[in-house]
Amino acid sequence: MVVLSPEEIKKAERAANDGGLDYETMMRTAGRGCADYILAHYPPDARIVIIAGKGKNGGDGFVCAKALCLAKRRIRVILALGLPTDTLAQKMLSELSGLTDATDYTKSPAEALRALSKADVVADAVFGVGFHGAFPEQLRALIEKANALPAARIAIDLPSGVGALSEEAQPFKADVTLSMLCYKPEQIYKPAAGYCGKTQIVPIGFPAPDGSLFALTRAEVKMLLPDRPYNANKGTFGNVLVLGGSRKMPGAAVLAAMGALHGGAGLVTVAVPDCILPVIQTKLTDPVFFPLQSSADGMIGAENIAALAPVLPRFSAIVLGNGMGVSPDTRQITAFILQNSICPVVLDADGINCVAGNINILKEARCPVLLTPHPGEMGRLTGRMPAEVNDDRETCASAFAAAHGVNVLLKGANTVAASPDGRLTVNPTGSAALARGGSGDILAGLIGAFAAQGTALYTAAALGAYVHGLAGETAEEKYSSFSATAARVTEAIGQAFKMILEG
């Protein structure tokens, strides 16, 4: 689903208006869409309170209230900031006359709070996408009361105050946000997204225009997952080569292999230095093993290129670099894989570090390439400090992808996937449970599994980030963010797939 800024939304609405769709029709369509959601999801006897503002978002709320009144629902309206000032909102409020009471919170705060306290469903229509500035002080008690109620909470377009996060004034905390036309940045980016709950798109009379930023919905993820035909065999789902590991970091290759296995790869081949093979084999029972000759420092020696060359055509995707270490030999291995592989390559961890000193090697790749850096690794690739990378993650990922002809998955809160042709996807899932060593290895393996099953590498990256983030959320819910280890996140991948497929 496209993610549009307030400026892009206003431009789209102006274009629709110029094309003959007037603003009143947009408002009526939006408000009725919100009412339809409420009618479909809450019982007929639910007491519904709509808190409305002075602008167009309040107008949406008034239209919603009228539709609910006509459907014989129990409705109260609270004018949070007094009478509306927007002309269309004034008209929509006038149409509520005789249908339900509208209490002015600025004149009768006690009465408004009493009405709110009886609500089973609270709908917030105070501020929409156009909100900016400080959270109004007079709203604090009303929003705090709404957040404290044991009621279902719905935000119309955006939770009020979400654009002015502060410890002093917390936004409306929605269970569901009914977002007009498209996703908004606040519904994707954390911590604001934590106040939005589940996002449901509400049409306003015209389709969302093309944009440069996207976020996958769960329904879209379900559609994009590789097919799993009943008459498949292990070859149907591809063979992932996990090439990495070293004496100092044997576990990274294990986690990458587990990510590939849990991601549905038909075969996983683990190629590691022979000095750690006995340790690796105690942790993994499913993969095929391809022992490589160890260098003196316990890494993969460059002499293994001769052994790897004839077997490369067997693989459907390669995950390279997890725990591999950086040395002249591993740099040679990395360059060889990029120059000779014909299947997609996921370049992670030390695979990224191996190309950082010779970034032009990426342009010599024969195969589709995905780099999966965290901000520190991205900083090494671009010559920036990690803080600089995080200050403008989308631009940083997109510019690097375009300049070097590769796909990039810039990890961190709201992981960003960028393609060399300019596509950009921000991941909405994830949790603090993933902020630990090993998470990235699992993610690399998971992406490798999707690529091995025939998914284009950019899409595989976006899918992998979504599933991995959902697994992190699931593991955190069960174990807490303190104890949701990498192994437990791996175990939760299966539950994440079930949630997607059944959702």
Rounded to whole angstroms, the Cα distance separating 107 from 109 reads 6
pTM metric for this prediction: 0.90
**CA 315-454-488 angle, 5° bins:** 80
Whole-number pLDDT of residue 210: 87
Q: Does the pLDDT value for residue 165 go beyond 70? A: no
Average pLDDT of the segment spanning 405-428: 96
Q: Where are the beta strands (DSSP E) in 274-375?
A: 288-292, 317-320, 345-347, 369-371
Q: Does the pLDDT value for residue 139 go beyond 60? A: yes
Q: Which two tokens stand for residue 414?
A: 């709201």
Whole-number pLDDT of residue 168: 53
* Interval 36-84: pLDDT, tens: 999 999 999 999 999 999 999 999 999 999 999 999 999 999 999 999 9
Whole-number pLDDT of residue 190: 86
Whole-number pLDDT of residue 203: 95
Q: Does the pLDDT value for residue 20 go beyond 80? A: yes
Average pLDDT of the segment spanning 145-151: 96
- Please answer whether residues 212 and 289 qualify as being in contact, where contact means their C-beta atoms are separated by less than 8 angstroms: no
Burial bucket for residue 19 (CB in 10 Å: 0-12, 13-18, 19+) = exposed
Going from N- to C-terminal start, the domains of the chain cover 6-211, 221-502
Whole-number pLDDT of residue 50: 98
CB under 8 Å to 428, separation ≥6 — which residues?
A: 187, 188, 193, 215, 216, 414, 466, 469
Rounded to whole angstroms, the Cα distance separating 127 from 422 reads 32
Q: Does the pLDDT value for residue 465 go beyond 90? A: yes
* Interval 324-358: pLDDT, tens: 999 999 999 999 999 999 999 999 999 999 999 89
Q: Which two tokens stand for residue 382?
A: 């671009």
Average pLDDT of the segment spanning 441-467: 98
Whole-number pLDDT of residue 136: 79
Among the listed residues 152, 154, 157, 153, the one whose alpha carbon sits nearest the alpha carbon of residue 201: 157
| pLDDT tier at 169, thresholds 50, 70, 90 | low
Mean pLDDT across the chain: 95
Average pLDDT of the segment spanning 413-440: 95
Whole-number pLDDT of residue 398: 96
Whole-number pLDDT of residue 170: 80
* Interval 379-412: pLDDT, tens: 999 999 999 999 999 999 999 999 999 999 999 9
The 3 state secondary structure assigned to 163-183 is: HHCCCCCCCCCCCEEEEECCE
Q: Does the pLDDT value for residue 167 go beyond 60? A: no
SS3 state of residue 438:
coil
6-211 under CATH 3.40.50.150, yes or no: no
Q: Say whether 221-502 and 6-211 share the same fold.
A: no
Whole-number pLDDT of residue 344: 98
Q: Percentage of residues in the chain with pLDDT exceeding 90?
A: 92
Rounded to whole angstroms, the Cα distance separating 419 from 442 reads 21
Average pLDDT of the segment spanning 218-239: 95
Topology (CATH level 3) of domain 221-502: UDP-N-acetylmuramoyl-L-alanine:D-glutamate ligase (3.40.1190)
Q: Does the pLDDT value for residue 135 go beyond 80? A: no
* Interval 254-268: pLDDT, tens: 999 999 999 999 999
Task: Give the CA dihedral 436, 438, 444, 447, nearest 10 degrees.
Answer: -70
* Interval 89-100: pLDDT, tens: 999 999 999 999
Whole-number pLDDT of residue 274: 97
